[in-house]
Structure 1
């Protein structure tokens, strides 16, 4: 079995030990420095030559992270790495997968082209594949998806008695249904109308009743927190018990976490795909399993 050499970019230290353990991989050292003018410097302290390496990078708030990532990939290739992969617990820029208006950048296609040009393969966790069938629609290099369904369902079963799983919109139904089935729990999905980045409406029918169940709102991402806060508030106003919010990717832009608590959330739980105080669900095993499915190039 090929033994990976992993390099953890800034912001991924929380994944280093568990991911290296799951993959049976070595950890390499890489030095990063940002100059006062914002430019980046990096140096491989552990030589990558002759090795299959993987760069591990949490690409939330991506713009300042993409240049160092690309420089690291290109430098590793210059130094003789056999292959250079990317393990990205969060993959950005997938929300724009078509041009809704003339002149718009299709960012999903462009981030795929940019990364494909400098990497050998990619693994990521539950990206926003709304109108995309697979990673092959974005990348021209081998890619493998990791899914948080099983670890999220396992956490819910272990910590919540009689859950009922709620999804904020139709996009979440497939994800919510899979978790509900794994938990042997009922579920419901609501209708969302987005009117702006921080302005959404969610219709909660008067007939919705959690009964003796504990409401658990599940979504793939908490960014501004507007969608989940709107649903939390609507459920509380309809007389439901205070819900628990559970998400794969906790970006928490600005005061998103505080908004959820203020709206009435009993608890906010995320995976450790992105570091945050709400992390309670470990996804390193499913990330490692996806990386192991990559068919590495052979000499």
Structure 2
């Protein structure tokens, strides 16, 4: 069975890179939005008889989900025997339990929706908390791409004498892989989150690292409050203005501006979400998982 890719709007560059590496075609789809906001789409290249992979990074997801569902349904309706999802960034992972009485557990509901539309899924570094593996909530085959080594290679090539700084205990394993790949030392801080905008970061005495370039590493930058607090604490100890290296560049609201205002040397992210800070291309990491599942 032949394979072909489809790009949800905004995912064209990532899809083109992946298609070239896979040696496959990107099907042309025309998208139209009616004046009332409804979506219409047309496959200009037939998906009949092909295993289709739709590439759609799912930051700011709510506006993307109906076009994604309609695209998958149309491909299947037009004769695609299998339809998969390549989601470089996967949404709806944070609400994995009922924190307050009456809340929905969206980290469980969303996978059921995806499983109605798709036969398989590949994503990169999902932001897991109490869910330890996607198979716990996704009833379809999934593969996870890990970007830590790619981040470590970028740091090794671009930053002199780096000190890898993980923001909290959850980041310890990830920071360790980056540090090993970059050939750099690493420290992991302790973070306490009191609310969406209230974060306390505990930092030990770092005087022994005075000659190093701190590099804050994380899998996701969303509100940026943890990073801003960490930057301030590092600078207060007299360390150099840090770099920030992350996988997923969500940057909600004014997060990027606040991070830069706190005093950093630079920002580098992976291209799982399109953003001006993208410096680390991870599209190639998706090749083997996609081949395994199509």
TM range, smaller chain: over 0.9
> 1:91 touches 1:124 (CA, 8 Å); kept in 2?
yes
Distance in 1 (alpha carbons) for counterparts of 2:137 and 2:25: 29
> 2:210 touches 2:238 (CA, 8 Å); kept in 1?
no
How far does residue 38 in structure 1 lie from its aligned partner after superposition?
A: 2.0
How far does residue 207 in structure 1 lie from its aligned partner after superposition?
A: 4.3
Give the corresponding residue for 1:240.
Answer: 239
Please say if 1:264 is aligned against 2:258: no
Distance in 2 (alpha carbons) for counterparts of 1:207 and 1:240: 8
Please say if 1:87 is aligned against 2:105: no
Give the corresponding residue for 2:16.
Answer: 17
* Match runs of 1:1-299 below 5 Å: 3-207=2-206, 209-294=208-293, 296=294
Structure 1 stretches lacking a partner, 5+ long: none
> 2:206 touches 2:237 (CA, 8 Å); kept in 1?
no
Distance in 1 (alpha carbons) for counterparts of 2:210 and 2:14: 39
Question: 4+ residue stretches of structure 1 with deviation over 3 A?
Answer: none
Structure 2 stretches lacking a partner, 5+ long: none
Flag the 1:33–1:190 CA change in 2: closer, same or farther, 3 A: same
Distance in 2 (alpha carbons) for counterparts of 1:270 and 1:49: 37
SS of the residue aligned with 1:202? strand
How far does residue 105 in structure 1 lie from its aligned partner after superposition?
A: 1.4
Quote the RMSD (CA, aligned, Å).
1.3
Distance in 2 (alpha carbons) for counterparts of 1:67 and 1:208: 52
How far does residue 93 in structure 1 lie from its aligned partner after superposition?
A: 0.6
> 2:2 touches 2:49 (CA, 8 Å); kept in 1?
no
SS of the residue aligned with 2:276? coil
Taking structure 1 as the reference length, the TM-score comes to: 0.95
> 1:216 touches 1:245 (CA, 8 Å); kept in 2?
yes
Distance in 1 (alpha carbons) for counterparts of 2:177 and 2:205: 25
Q: Select between 126-135 and 275-284 the one with higher mean Cα deviation.
A: 126-135
- In the TM superposition, what whole-angstrom CA distance separates every residue of 1:96-154 from its partner, at most 9, and x where no partner exists? 11222222211111111100111010000000122222221121111111111121111
Aligned residue pair count: 294
SS of the residue aligned with 1:242? coil
SS of the residue aligned with 1:293? helix
How far does residue 269 in structure 1 lie from its aligned partner after superposition?
A: 0.5
SS of the residue aligned with 1:277? coil
How far does residue 183 in structure 1 lie from its aligned partner after superposition?
A: 1.7
> 1:14 touches 1:275 (CA, 8 Å); kept in 2?
no
> 2:249 touches 2:273 (CA, 8 Å); kept in 1?
yes
How far does residue 208 in structure 1 lie from its aligned partner after superposition?
A: 5.6
Flag the 1:208–1:293 CA change in 2: closer, same or farther, 3 A: farther
Flag the 1:134–1:207 CA change in 2: closer, same or farther, 3 A: same
